[in-house]
Amino acid sequence: MQAIGSQHPLRRLFVGLVEDAFCSKVGVCDPSLTDYLADLLVSFTHIERLNTIQNAAGKRLDQIAAMLAVLDDELPERGVNRDRTVYRHIGDYTLFWAGVYPEQLKRAARVRSDVLLDYVSQGKRSYAIVSQLADDDDRPPPALFRHLSDDFESCLYGLGLVRRGWEETAPVTRPGELLL
């Protein structure tokens, strides 16, 4: 999987849309937050990154309930780093789906084990846990995850604006311009 570089048109599009939505419309003009959210959007353009958490059998998980169950597995690699990684992914996953594609949650809830889960509560909780498990010298820093937890609803709103922004963006004029 090829990384999307800093000058790639897709990354520049997401950075611009996130900065516009959060700074001018949401009123949250925190560069560390807007950079994180733009990176999240770019990262999740790869399905492999959207579903990075795996169970003990190596199956990629696409449901929060299953990801939470992984945290209860008694595996040798169980530790703070693993827990932080899983909780961070749960926060990112819930923020992405509830913010960018909330209509998908309603459809998916009919056939998934996540039907009883509140994505907003799970996302806020997960980011709060990450902020507690992270050290001050970790990157991103724990304060960013506390901010994501505290302002989760604002981030959802802002990501919805980002989606509307890309839907309203003029179509690409050169074929393949946004492709890797």
Q: What are phi and psi of 60, to 5 degrees?
A: -70, 135
Q: Is the pLDDT of residue 115 over 60?
A: no
What are the pLDDT digits (tens) for 153-177? 999 999 999 999 988 875 655 555 5
Q: What is the pLDDT of residue 137?
A: 85
In this predicted structure, what is the pLDDT of residue 135?
A: 85
Instruction: Evaluate whether 69 touches 101 at the Cβ level (below 8 Å).
Output: no
pLDDT attached to residue 154 = 96
Do 14 and 41 meet the contact criterion of CB atoms below 8 Å apart?
yes
- Indicate if the pLDDT at residue 104 is higher than 60: yes
Residue 110 pLDDT > 70: no
Q: How confident is the model at residue 55 (pLDDT cuts 50, 70, 90)?
A: confident
Span 60-77, average pLDDT: 77
Cα distance between residue 137 and residue 165, in whole Å? 34
Distance CA 110, CA 13 (A): 33
User: Which pLDDT value is given to residue 180?
Assistant: 47
- Look at residue 76 in the predicted model and tell me its pLDDT: 53
For the chain, the C-alpha Rg in angstroms (whole number) is 17
Nearest to 91 by CA among 14, 160, 148: 148
